[in-house]
Structure 1
Amino acid sequence: MSTEEQDAIIAALAPVIDGIVTTLGSFCEVVVHDFRRPERSVVAIAGTVTGRTVDGSMSEIGMGILARGDEATDELNYITRTQDGKLVKSSTMVLRDSAGTVFGALCVNVDITAVNQAHALIGELAGVTGSAAMPTTTFDNDIGSVVDAIVDAHQLRQNKKWSELSRSERLELFSSLDDHGVFAVRGAAQQVAERLGISRASAYSYLAKARTGGANGPDRSATVGTDQDGAQA
């Protein structure tokens, strides 16, 4: 892995994004992410669709790509909704160096709220109604807000408090959070522990068991390492 090569790719993309936004207009935002610094992955941004700035964090989608590592693939033409209600059409293209290592992403976000509203109006006039609900994605400069949103979403799906979860459900929760890249973020284990009302040591214990399959799951021990704050994960 060549740090110099990765730095050069990011440096080459930074001025390009301004040209893309200038061409597509004010409804477009283009972001360059550096996955080597997940807590502040935004290294260059043009446009203001999601309200983030340089040194802002990645979204849940970016964290999922980070979790897949070199196996990650481009995520193209997906639609989500921001927390303030904007409907956004996005594409996330992974950045690789010559060795095939995924180290970042180039993301294009287009605010299609007005287009969707016009589509709905035309549909009503034509007598056609109904639309699929879009998932809400957390775009925030603070990675902590993104981590909290992922944890909360998993708890809402289970519809149980931590104290009500069975051992297998607890391991499933930690396995799912790990799959979404949560524990690649510095200090995430402590944040998850506080969110769930457990100790940091317990969080690491559940994570280690989830990664080795616990009682029933697959053995993922090869992925066990240290998180970004240096503690055993």
Structure 2
Amino acid sequence: MTGNRPDESYEEDVLRILAAAVRAIGSIISSNTEIVLHDLRRPEYSIAEIVNAHVTGRRQGDSILSGMRTDKAFISAMEESREAVTLLTDYETFSRSGAPLRSSTAIYRGRNARPFAALCINVDDENIRKALSVLQNLTAAMPSQREEAIPQEESGVSPDNIEDLMRDIISSATALSPGAGRADGKRAKLLAVQQMQEKGIFLMKGGVEKAAAALGVTRYTIYNYLDELKNAE
């Protein structure tokens, strides 16, 4: 027991520093951004500090197990690593109600390589998406002269033509990556996902699900493809 005290003291100090950082940053960020500090040594009531808790509906003392679904940060925290800090930035998670969130996480490990703290940022962009939708509807209602002034390929993607656009993208990607092998098929799908991302399809409600259906994969595969493309950049 005595030999563990230096590690425990170090971890307690780091947690106090991070808790102060959460409160300081939380005092100025917008209300759609949650910052939460987890004490991973106590997973059954891990939330040590939290601001803007309404984003995920959690509170101080809640368990990390009651958090977001499909959270890669929690999975990563359970993996072995010798890194003192592991960073996961700008990835998608879902709240318990299914609302999509943008998340970033820093996982801290002690001298024994055991994860003991996680600092997480979760952003709910739903109101921003609604505002963009309103603006798009207003733009669509403008006089036809304005519509004629905008080239068709720059006028954006609407829910009415998203399936047609995805079919064109998949056809183009398949032509650029011919072949019947498994690697050829994955290359074509990656290229298709990249083009869909560039067209803004994934910014639309249901875009990921529609893309997954068109490509014959799960939506989690689409997220993995997006991660792969991001890492390649």
Question: TM-score under structure 1 normalisation?
Answer: 0.50
State the distance in 2 between where 1:29 and 1:66 align. 20
Where in structure 2 are the equivalents of 1:106-117 lying within 5 Å?
106-117=119-130
Q: Post-superposition shift, 1:6?
A: 0.5
Q: Post-superposition shift, 1:35?
A: 1.3
State the distance in 2 between where 1:115 and 1:81 align. 17
- Among 81, 87, 104, the residue aligned to 1:70: 81
Q: Deviations over 1:71-124 (max 9, x none)?
A: 673211112332435332110111133565432210011221111223344455
Unaligned runs of 5+ residues in structure 2 are: 141-154, 163-200, 209-217, 219-233
State the distance in 1 between where 2:112 and 2:35 align. 25
**Structure of higher CA gyration radius:** 2
Does the 8 Å contact 2:36/2:51 carry over to 1? yes
Does the 8 Å contact 1:27/1:111 carry over to 2? yes
Q: Which has the higher contact order (CA 8 A, sep 6+)?
A: 1
State the distance in 1 between where 2:35 and 2:207 align. 21
- Among 136, 139, 157, the residue aligned to 1:128: 157
- Please state if 1:3 is matched with 2:8: yes
Letter in 1 for 2:81: D
Does the 8 Å contact 1:79/1:134 carry over to 2? no
Identical aligned residues as a percent: 27
Comparing 3-12 and 108-117, the one that deviates more: 108-117
Letter in 1 for 2:102: K
- The DSSP-based 3-state class of the residue aligned with 1:5 is helix
- Among 19, 24, 37, the residue aligned to 1:19: 24
- Please state if 1:87 is matched with 2:100: yes
Where in structure 2 are the equivalents of 1:22-37 lying within 5 Å?
22-37=27-42
State the distance in 2 between where 1:24 and 1:71 align. 32
State the distance in 1 between where 2:132 and 2:49 align. 33
Aligned pair in 2 of structure 1 residues 31, 104: CA closer, same or farther (>3 Å)?
same
Letter in 1 for 2:132: H
Aligned length: 136
C-alpha RMSD of the superposition: 2.8
Q: Which residue in the other structure is 1:47 paired with?
A: 52
Comparing 2-11 and 69-78, the one that deviates more: 69-78
Where in structure 2 are the equivalents of 1:156-175 lying within 5 Å?
none
Does the 8 Å contact 2:77/2:107 carry over to 1? no
* Structure with higher helix content: 2
Where in structure 2 are the equivalents of 1:189-228 lying within 5 Å?
none
State the distance in 2 between where 1:84 and 1:46 align. 19
Q: Which residue in the other structure is 1:118 paired with?
A: 131
Aligned pair in 2 of structure 1 residues 120, 81: CA closer, same or farther (>3 Å)?
farther
